Structure 1
Amino acid sequence: AAKGAGALVIAGVDPSSLGVLEAPGAMGADYAVGDYQPLGLHMGYGGSLSGFICTKDEEKFVAEYPLLLFGLTDTVKDGEYGFGEVFYERTSYASREKGKDFVGTATALHGIVAGVYMALMGPKGFDELGRGILQRAAYAKKKLAGVSGVSIPLEGVSYCDFLVNFDKTGKTVAEVNAALLKNDIFGGKDVSGDFPAFGQSALYSITEMHSKEDIDKLISALAKVLGASK
Structure 2
Amino acid sequence: MRYLPHTDTDRKAMLEAIGVASIDDLFQDVPEAARLDGLIDLPTKQGELQVERALGAMASKNISAGQAPFFVGAGAYKHHIPATVDHLIQRSEFLTAYTPYQPEISQGTLQTLFEFQTQVALLTGMDVANASMYDGSTACAEAVMMAARVTRRNKAVMAGGVHPHYVEASKTLAKYSDVKISVTDPDVADLSAVMAAIDDETACVVVQTPDVFGRLHDLRALSEAAHEKGALVIAAFTECVSLGLVESPGAMGADIAVGEGQSIGVGLNFGGPYVGLFACKDDRRFIRQMPGRLAGETVDADGRRGYVLTLSTREQHIRRDKATSNICTNSGLCSLAWTIHMTLLGERGITRLARLNHEMACALADRLSAIEGVELVTDTFFNEFTLRLPRPAAQVVDDLARIGVLGGVPASRLYPGKFEDLLIVAATETNTDGDLVAFEKALRGVL
Classify the TM-score, shorter chain. 0.7 to 0.9
1:126 paired residue number: 350
The structure-2 alpha-carbon separation of the partners of 1:44 and 1:31, relative to structure 1 and needing over 3 Å to count, comes to same
2:248 paired residue number: 23
Distance 1:91 1:161 in 2: 35
The structure-2 alpha-carbon separation of the partners of 1:180 and 1:85, relative to structure 1 and needing over 3 Å to count, comes to same
SS at match of 1:185: coil
| Residue of 362, 375, 379 corresponding to 1:151 | 375
SS at match of 2:295: strand
1:68 and 1:101 in contact (8 A); partners too = no
Say whether residues 1:208 and 2:429 are aligned partners.
yes
| Residue of 282, 307, 310 corresponding to 1:86 | 310
1:61 paired residue number: 286
Distance 2:251 2:376 in 1: 30
Distance 1:55 1:189 in 2: 31
| Residue of 96, 99, 122 corresponding to 2:319 | 96
The structure-2 alpha-carbon separation of the partners of 1:198 and 1:45, relative to structure 1 and needing over 3 Å to count, comes to closer
Say whether residues 1:186 and 2:406 are aligned partners.
yes
- C-alpha displacement at 1:190, in angstroms? 1.3
Distance 1:104 1:213 in 2: 43
- CA offsets per residue over residues 173-214 of structure 1, 9 Å max, x none? 123122211211122211247287755111111122222221
SS at match of 2:375: coil
1:114 paired residue number: 338
Distance 2:393 2:317 in 1: 54
- RMSD between aligned residues: 2.4
- C-alpha displacement at 1:86, in angstroms? 0.9
Distance 1:195 1:151 in 2: 21
When Rg is computed on C-alpha atoms for both structures, the one with the higher figure is 2
Distance 2:245 2:295 in 1: 28
1:133 and 1:206 in contact (8 A); partners too = yes
2:383 paired residue number: 160
Structure 1 segments unaligned to the other structure (5+ residues): none
The structure-2 alpha-carbon separation of the partners of 1:77 and 1:159, relative to structure 1 and needing over 3 Å to count, comes to farther
Say whether residues 1:72 and 2:293 are aligned partners.
no
1:219 paired residue number: 440
1:9 paired residue number: 233
Distance 1:185 1:77 in 2: 61
The structure-2 alpha-carbon separation of the partners of 1:197 and 1:101, relative to structure 1 and needing over 3 Å to count, comes to closer
Distance 1:94 1:44 in 2: 30
- CA offsets per residue over residues 43-76 of structure 1, 9 Å max, x none? 1122111211110122211111222211124678
| Residue of 255, 273, 276 corresponding to 1:48 | 273
Does 184-193 or 215-224 show the bigger shift? 184-193
1:137 and 1:159 in contact (8 A); partners too = yes
Aligned length: 220
The structure-2 alpha-carbon separation of the partners of 1:75 and 1:95, relative to structure 1 and needing over 3 Å to count, comes to closer
**Percent identity among equivalent residues?**
29
Q: Which 4+ runs in 1 deviate beyond 3 A?
A: 73-78, 90-95, 195-199
The structure-2 alpha-carbon separation of the partners of 1:81 and 1:206, relative to structure 1 and needing over 3 Å to count, comes to farther
The structure-2 alpha-carbon separation of the partners of 1:93 and 1:189, relative to structure 1 and needing over 3 Å to count, comes to closer
SS at match of 1:63: helix
Distance 2:299 2:344 in 1: 24
Structure 2 segments unaligned to the other structure (5+ residues): 1-224
Distance 1:24 1:76 in 2: 39
1:177 paired residue number: 397
What amino acid is aligned across from residue 151 of structure 1 in structure 2? E
2:314 and 2:326 in contact (8 A); partners too = no
SS at match of 1:187: coil
Distance 1:95 1:105 in 2: 15
What amino acid is aligned across from residue 31 of structure 1 in structure 2? I
Distance 1:129 1:76 in 2: 43
Distance 2:328 2:394 in 1: 37
The structure-2 alpha-carbon separation of the partners of 1:2 and 1:68, relative to structure 1 and needing over 3 Å to count, comes to same
What amino acid is aligned across from residue 188 of structure 1 in structure 2? G
- CA offsets per residue over residues 62-111 of structure 1, 9 Å max, x none? 11122221112467899x743212136x5546642223352222211111
2:58 paired residue number: none
- CA offsets per residue over residues 95-144 of structure 1, 9 Å max, x none? 42223352222211111111111111100110101101110111011000
The structure-2 alpha-carbon separation of the partners of 1:141 and 1:117, relative to structure 1 and needing over 3 Å to count, comes to same
